[in-house]
Structure 1
Amino acid sequence: MTSMNQRHLTFLASPEWAETLRTRLLPWLRETGELGDDVLEIGPGPGLTTDLLLELVDHVTAVEIDADLARKLAARLDGSRAEVVHGDATTVDLGSGRFSGATCFTMLHHVESPEAQDRLFARVCQLLRPGGVFVGVDSVASDELRDFHVDDTYVPVDPGTLELRLAAAGFTAITVVSPPGEGHFRFTARRPRD
């Protein structure tokens, strides 16, 4: 089970974070241009990233493990092209080979262990259609982020090992980019076309 402190939750729903996502994440997502028509979002939290995805794709299935966050997001997005599912993305029944794309944005470090992260990667590969793309962004470990995550689940992903971990989960065409000085990394990976 993952957890987030109240300060963290408040920040993730803030106008400042929304603006950061709009100016930094959205252009990159537009550049990838390959998410397709039916996208899985893992760990949307308050849903600011879901809002951006709805600008780009026909349908989003957002899987949120926190019951309260899932309930609030489902109520806010009721009647939209998004479906919010409360559950653990590694176990919830979503239909293998269903999604054209999958995303996770600054949530991997909230998964409780490297082994659980690896199970998530393998499950995402299974849920994608052949040729489907998996894209994500996460933070690079730092003392400042560790302090921000007091009482949170905080298990940073090493971008230096991510390519091997995604390959072990079944992905190909993997890229991991960690822009110097920006404190985050981005990745893309693809389920093989079989």
Structure 2
Amino acid sequence: MPMNRFHQWFCRSTAWARCVEGSLLPWVLDGTDLGDKVLEVGPGYGVTTRILQRKVPELTALEIDPALAERLRAHTTADVVEGDGTDMPFPSETFSGAACFTMLHHVQSEALQDRLFAEVHRVLRPGGVFAGSDSRVSAGFRLIHLFDTMVVVDPDTLAPRLETAGFTDVKVSTTDRALRFRARKPA
């Protein structure tokens, strides 16, 4: 999804990497076991991927942007697959867990976000966990996303949307700046 130059710079920055490692991933994954074969949807520049791969036995990263997928292959040992989260190139029930971090707002519409949720559900094994985060709207968030795709996820409607995709045990929580969610594919 297109990002302006400042946004591109920030997503590669040391400050963002410190935030991801020190607070974002620990907050999102607290008490969550993604299992042995994990899918990360939309890793972008791969800050989350490099940290996540140290926490799980096997990681596959699905990235829609060909240039970012190639860049990610050079900077990680995860299996990087170029593809669309709304039409995943994986067989059903491939992964024990899935995650996405601050990328949902880059999906061009709510309908496409819902297709992504349905695809994650499809590729998860029964009992698999889907965990993730996204940013909440603020003046700073809007400024960073000038001329970017920005379809903000409403935390009040996220649980029903995940349930419509087939997930159960859905939990959504928020801070002033972010939301996190967890959901499970029924066993």
TM-score by length of 2: 0.96
Partners of 2:28 and 2:133 within 8 A in 1:
no
Using the TM superposition, give the Cα deviation of residue 90 of structure 1 relative to its aligned residue in structure 2, in angstroms: 1.8
Which range moved further: 133-142 or 87-96?
87-96
Structure 2 counterpart of 1:39: 38
Q: Unaligned regions of 5+ residues in structure 1, if any? A: none
Using the TM superposition, give the Cα deviation of residue 165 of structure 1 relative to its aligned residue in structure 2, in angstroms: 0.3
Q: Partner amino acid for 1:175?
A: K
Structure 1 counterpart of 2:133: 137
Q: 1:176 to 1:29 in 2, by over 3 A?
A: closer
* In 1, Cα distance between equivalents of 2:170 and 2:88: 25
Pairing 1:101–2:101 present: no
Structure 1 counterpart of 2:52: 53
Structure 2 counterpart of 1:157: 153
* In 1, Cα distance between equivalents of 2:96 and 2:29: 15
Pairing 1:113–2:125 present: no
| SS of residue paired to 2:30 | helix
* In 2, Cα distance between equivalents of 1:6 and 1:184: 22
Q: Please, what is the CA RMSD of the aligned residues?
A: 1.1
Aligned positions, number: 187
| SS of residue paired to 1:40 | strand
* In 2, Cα distance between equivalents of 1:39 and 1:174: 19
Structure 2 counterpart of 1:125: 121
Structure 2 counterpart of 1:175: 171
Pairing 1:15–2:14 present: yes
Pairing 1:28–2:22 present: no
Percent identity between the two aligned chains: 50
Using the TM superposition, give the Cα deviation of residue 30 of structure 1 relative to its aligned residue in structure 2, in angstroms: 5.1
Structure 1 counterpart of 2:184: 190
Which range moved further: 139-148 or 15-24?
139-148
* In 1, Cα distance between equivalents of 2:70 and 2:170: 34
Partners of 2:135 and 2:178 within 8 A in 1:
yes
Using the TM superposition, give the Cα deviation of residue 29 of structure 1 relative to its aligned residue in structure 2, in angstroms: 4.9
Using the TM superposition, give the Cα deviation of residue 23 of structure 1 relative to its aligned residue in structure 2, in angstroms: 1.0
Using the TM superposition, give the Cα deviation of residue 25 of structure 1 relative to its aligned residue in structure 2, in angstroms: 2.1
Structure 1 residue ranges (4+ consecutive) displaced by more than 4 angstroms after TM superposition: none
